[in-house]
Structure 1
């Protein structure tokens, strides 16, 4: 069946913008299977929204997917969710272990693959030490898989050379939460949408990237006549079409807009004096260290950030800034959403802090409808990476590598010698690949992700990955990808409901995915491979008995039960989330300390349900940011000076390139480009150019255009459309034949180490 992009937008929950674009088409009938033997409860495989699904099985094959009406998504799915079944049956599924010999891959047995892999890793450790090996994981892996690898590397081997692709998308949000509130514990929930009457959406094209959540926002707007939507985005996206106020600005200048909003709020007395006095401290950086300052000093800091000054720098009209500030402060409940537009920046943490600042100043936080909510790009970036502590500076459930007590606690819990966990955080995502390029890391295992396409400034890292002097293992469900083509060894991986495990999503909601069908041929669940690898590696290192004690897991439930114990007593506390309970439930939000506990909708507030507030802060009566004990359990409003992007446009490279997602596809397209309907709708990359810029350059739609940055060039078809603002061009990131990340910069945020994918300088010319 031929489906147009216009139809796909309707079929997905991006019909949130239906009233603006006049779509009235029904969902195709043939999306539903003719016959289903049984329905198995699961979760969508794509973004971090965590939409509940039921998977239809017939004769051992997935034939249909439908939304879970009892879950938060109320049965709605986006178009990618409806078209999930084909991703399991693509022609290029990886089915057998493959070893590169010369320029070709040859099939080998699992025994040969595991023997070779463990020999290479063991030999490297013996000759060069434990820091010569590394693992690069994913926010797509199940929680059990990520926890296991964290235990293996940090607790078993004693190296922190382990990081994941959420470093590329969510690290700034995590560090923003920690620096503002003391903990990386998102406090809000999707339930807040039903209570909010002002939505402040910045750096997020929700209609295409989180369409089911956006649908709920649109429903709220339709039912509440006074509901306002503020959209802060340099592109006039589909999301912006239902906004009451669209604030366009020069990319990288939104920090001045956020400060100017705070300026208006303070100057007009719109801030909450009670909240500021009781729950907030003010902080700046002095002599490279955090230092407290007074409210008066903060007010003085804001003096220069007038709406007029912000307009001059950002080109966002001052009247829009004033209006946004008033709506934000004066609404009954304001909810902010953001994602990669804030995070993928060299000032990503600061941008996150400044959104939190607005909520803290106005008291728009820790009550129904009032919260600052970071959207997640991958299905398990929260649960499997941030919560389990897979990133190189973290330990499980709020613990830090650099904290001596946390290290000792985990060493005791894991039963490893004191001092085993290395006190220095390991290299982060980009630096792992830099070290691999230099040969400092000799063996690298990549699982469930595609850095050969997704890394910024990917060209040099691709060359490093195909070096003959190092050993690269890639666990992948498809072959070849732009990463597996560079590997020495490819391990075929089970995908989605071909295995079982747990996802943890944006609102702290954990959900269990039951195995529904078998993987193809010899593909195996990653956890099974990881457990086998650990035993074989330790045997080669002469530590077989230790492996039997540390890695004595038979299945994912065994790992999950250890995870529950590991979380016990922390602010996460999963003890009430038994596997049996998760199988029945339609998601449970942590903390959930007992089996009869319903889960926690909102954090940091005893009034609205956080049972742990009193445990961690006995004096709390309502709100307590108990992660910030040194600040009296108060959250921080930060004085962050304005600084622009790492690579602003100039005379030689006068345009700004930004990248992102389309509704049809997800990340590097390894799954969605296998779905014929989705590929027909969005078959290839393009460059989106503003009509005024196109006229200056003599470019028309469908012309071939060459885009060049300081790192590379790419030729794409032009799409002249009044979506990006003047001086900005947009390219989707999904297409493996069009590596837009050859152009992007690998400059990253000094605090989060997250790269600035969203902004780099380019020049444009007809090809």
Structure 2
């Protein structure tokens, strides 16, 4: 039932180069690659299920198809869906153990209400009445903007559409944010400013056509393992394929790359400009494409091709190599591979570029490399932003669940957009406020300042995941906070006034939208535990108690989704109908012909995109032309100093995900050397030279201090990742209140995308 390839990819070692070419038996795979006995037990369970249900993985934004094996009403096995082209039957180790989290001891099965300072068990009727009464009281006494909602790229599209409609259209506040603001907002700003519309141009089909893979600000071997497996497979099948990985830290991804570029933190703007200089200098640009399809811009001022060439002069490799920390010859080598007219180039990036105070700028630059070379809108060449959550695109970006958006990427500030959505919602247009709400960090600052007095948090964990987190935890304690969550306690539920037990993954039906614009149906496979309800249901119940029941009288997920689909028709974000999603393994928008047309594998280009009759047209822009921006090198919000001489960055490991709310419940996923064998403690990585200079050895306890806080942890030298001198690295996963990396992290934000700069904070380290 499971192929050798599936078994290999399911292990932690799947990230290593060469896994795909191995010809081990299942037993050898277990022995040599470290598959746990628990994982092997799943292989046996898969042979004795009652039936299988089609769904989607619950973790990263790849959107892998998953089959859930059900026996006696329980999810007992998980396998990759071989009919889903996203993962072609493969799963990573986290996906393989999806079902285990459903039966964790920390499952919350009844609502909790804070009484006399303590969270105590209650019932749904009391909890919902309390929420409805308190939210209504706050709305009536302090105005609608005293309320807010913080959602998630893990919610389903129907759930996100409902809470967005409730708060923006009926309560009357645009204080609606989602956690993709912390991971993908700069990619959004980059796509919209460059092309006029959000989300990638290409799809995963390009993985099978690309000759050069250019990764920057990403560690796909750990964070997007199925993408990485497909990239390695492409190189195996086409040996001339080259993989370039650019990162300030050596990782499993750089280890397997053909070329690794270890640049200084924050110097990616200069690096990308220097690559552009090399391409232009060596005639790798496509002047005909440029003249026909591109405008140039600096700030808000139009520029010319000549202005752009003049701008690049400051970034000649020999001028900036020392500043970037990369030899000029290596910059030239990478740029020439990227720009080679006989090769197709696919760029991929994620939080390393986005979580920056100039995240939009660096996104503009990577889009610009593809534009000046004409390497986009054709198979194998595309700038592709990887997403961190399973439905960050579908459930937040597409349904408009951010403070400035409305469904199908409309804007609250646009009068016509407000009228269009108000008509679908059946309300007067003036019920939707024209002023954007508070973006993420300002929204949580408003809880600290007691301007937001009521907040609903759904399917996310800001009490651990926000930057400078201790500052904002104080605000969460001040306001009346409702948390919809599957597990308890978390660093957020412990601060809540009401906690609602939420159905998880295959316990409910829903729709997800992944990173390649693929909208996918998730079937309900099993019932949730008694006392547990879906977030979809909870939103409807609160709407009724606030007096909006007539407008939220939905009978099914399909009814909600089809209302959302009406919002997308004619926008270039047209999604497929519910019935088609149930029958197929997802459909990549835009699709026309009442949603039954051919899915779009490449946007802005005929014959792939139904909105383009011939050639290429960037129809998000009035003149159909994309923009190449002149973006100079810029400092991060924090720079190393005498007081804080190190740069601190952060990320995640293959076996764990985000704040471990889910993966932390699965014992098999904790059995990794860095964690399990060290008494279940996380760590900070540092370079050997720095450690030697400070008298620190492997395993020592250390204190890290930044302008935002301090914590104690232990040091790992020459571990899975190896930071360059002057750089410290911590995992995002640590749930220990005294060791969470976000205690130290800067809460500075990009001025356009409002995304926090998690990846660069000034810090010091000392031996305890």
CA-CA distance at 1:22 after TM superposition: 12
User: By how many angstroms is 1:312 displaced?
Assistant: 2.1
Query: 3-state DSSP class of the match of 1:466?
Result: helix
Q: How does 1:484-495 map to 2 (within 5 A)?
A: 484-495=493-504
Establish whether residue 510 from structure 1 lines up as the match of residue 488 from structure 2.
Answer: no
CA contact (8 A) 1:98 1:107 kept: yes
Instruction: Please give the alpha-carbon distance, in whole angstroms, between the structure 1 residues aligned to 2:170 and 2:223.
Output: 38
Larger displacement relative to structure 2 (232-241 or 45-54): 232-241
Matched, 1:651 2:660: no
Paired residue secondary structure (2:29):
coil
Using the alignment, how far apart are the partners of 1:188 and 1:15 within structure 2? 26
Match of 2:257 in 1: 243
- 1:80 paired residue number: 94
Answer yes or no: is the 8 Å Cα contact 1:230–1:244 preserved in 2.
Answer: yes
| Correspondences of 1:75-154 after superposition (within 5 Å) | 75-154=89-168
Change in CA separation of 1:19 and 1:315 when aligned onto 2, cut-off 3 Å: farther
- Partner SS for 1:570: coil
**Aligned equivalents of 2:94 and 2:626: distance in 1?**
38
Instruction: Tell me if the contact between 2:395 and 2:513 (Cα under 8 Å) persists in the aligned partners.
Output: yes
| 2:654 corresponding residue in structure 1 | 663
3-state SS of the aligned residue for 2:232? helix
Q: Partners of 2:405 and 2:561 in 1: how far apart? A: 19
**Could you list the per-position Cα deviations for residues 168-201 of structure 1 after superposition, in whole angstroms to 9, with x for gaps in the alignment?**
0000000100001011031111010111000110
Cα deviations across residues 698-755 of structure 1 (Å, max 9, x unaligned)?
Answer: 1111111111111111111110117111111110011210211000000000010000
User: What count of residue pairs does the alignment treat as equivalent?
Assistant: 737
- 8 A Cα contact 2:8 2:14, kept in partner: no
Q: Contact 2:12–2:654 at 8 Å: present in 1 too? A: no
Contact (CA 8 Å) 1:12, 1:78: kept in 2 or not? no
Q: Hey, what's the Cα distance between the residues in 1 that align with 2:189 and 2:514?
A: 17
Give the conservation status (yes or no) of the 8 Å contact 1:10–1:18: no
Secondary structure at the aligned position of 1:298 is classed as helix
Segments of 4+ in structure 1 off by > 3 A? 6-13, 15-24
Query: For each residue in 1:625-660, what CA deviation from the matched residue of structure 2 results, as whole angstroms up to 9, or x when unmatched?
Result: 00011xx21100001111021101111111111011
Which residue does the alignment assign to 2:666?
Answer: 675
State yes or no: 1:581 paired with 2:580.
yes
Decide whether the 8 Å contact of 2:11 with 2:92 is kept in 1: no
Partner secondary structure for residue 362 of structure 2:
helix
CA distance in 2, matches of 1:155, 1:103: 34
Q: Secondary structure at the match of 2:597?
A: coil
1:687 to 2:684 alignment = yes
Structure 1 partner of 2:322: 312
How do residues 453-472 of structure 1 correspond to structure 2 at under 5 angstroms?
453-467=464-478, 470-472=479-481
Task: Work out the CA distance in 1 between the residues paired with 2:22 and 2:245.
Answer: 17
When residues 568 and 274 of structure 1 are mapped into structure 2, their CA distance, relative to the original with a 3 A threshold, is same
Q: Does 1:601 align with 2:601?
A: yes
Q: Aligned-pair distance for 1:11? A: 4.8
Q: Deviations over 1:431-471 (max 9, x none)?
A: 1110011110110000000000000000011111112xx21
Tell me the secondary structure at the aligned position of residue 347 of structure 2: strand
**What is the SS of the residue equivalent to 1:219?**
helix
In structure 2, how many angstroms separate the alpha carbons of the residues matched to 1:677 and 1:625? 47
Q: What is the distance in 2 between the residues matched to 1:270 and 1:316?
A: 21
Deviation per residue, 1:370-428 (Å, 9 max, x gap): 00000000000000000000000111112111111111211222221121111111111
How many angstroms apart in 2 are the aligned matches of 1:589 and 1:22?
Answer: 34
**In the TM superposition, what are the counterparts of 1:604-615 in structure 2 within 5 Å?**
604-607=604-607, 609-614=608-613
Instruction: Assess, with a 3 A threshold, how the Cα gap between structure 1 residues 61 and 9 changes in structure 2: closer, same or farther.
Output: closer
Corresponding residue number in structure 2 for 1:541: none
Secondary structure, aligned partner of 2:307: helix
| Alpha-carbon offset, residue 7 of structure 1 | 9.1
Query: Do 2:453 and 2:480's aligned partners in 1 also have CA atoms closer than 8 Å?
Result: yes
Aligned with 1:668: secondary structure?
coil
- The 10-residue stretch of structure 1 (373-382 or 593-602) with the greater mean CA deviation from structure 2: 593-602
- Structure 1 distance, partners of 2:129, 2:647, is 48
Contact 1:17–1:241 (8 Å) recurs in 2: no
Matched-pair contact (CA < 8 Å) for 1:689–1:718: yes
Give the drift of 1:9: 8.0
Question: d(CA) in 1 for partners of 2:313 and 2:760?
Answer: 28
2:617 matched to which residue of 1? 624
Is residue 54 of structure 2 the alignment partner of residue 61 of structure 1? no
Check 1:214–1:8 CA distance in 2 against 1; reply closer, same or farther (3 A cut): closer
Q: Tell me the SS of whatever aligns to 1:366.
A: coil
Q: Secondary structure at the match of 1:441?
A: coil
Is the partner of 1:413 in helix, strand or coil? helix
Whether the 8 Å contact between 2:245 and 2:260 is mirrored in structure 1 is: yes
Q: 1:21 to 1:485 in 2, by over 3 A?
A: farther
Once residues 385 and 672 of structure 1 are traced to their aligned partners in structure 2, the CA distance between those partners, rounded to angstroms, is 23
Structure-2 change in CA distance of 1:654 and 1:11 (3 Å): closer
SS at structure 1 position matched to 2:722 = coil
* Separation in 2, partners of 1:180, 1:685: 40
| 1:337-416 correspondence runs (5 A) | 337-416=348-427
TM-score (norm 1): 0.94
Please state how far the C-alpha of 1:580 moved relative to its aligned partner. 2.3
What is the 5 A alignment of 1:294-333?
A: 294-330=304-340, 331-333=342-344
Residues 218-273 of structure 1 show CA distances to partners (whole Å, capped at 9, x for unaligned) of 01111112111111101111011121111111111110000000111111211001
Residue 522 of structure 1 is matched in structure 2 by: 531
Moved more, 594-603 or 344-353: 594-603
Residue in 1 that maps onto 2:632: 641
Gaps of 5+ in 1: 1-5, 539-543, 615-620
In structure 2, relative to structure 1, the CA distance for the partners of 1:19 and 1:89 (3 Å cut) is: closer
What is the alpha-carbon distance in structure 1 between the residues aligned to residue 758 and residue 705 of structure 2? 15
CA distance in 2, matches of 1:441, 1:31: 47
Q: For the residues of structure 1 that align with 2:69 and 2:521, how far apart are their CA atoms?
A: 16
Distance 1:103 1:22, change over 3 A: farther
Q: Deviations over 1:346-389 (max 9, x none)?
A: 01000100000100000110100000000000000000000000
Aligned to 2:555: 554
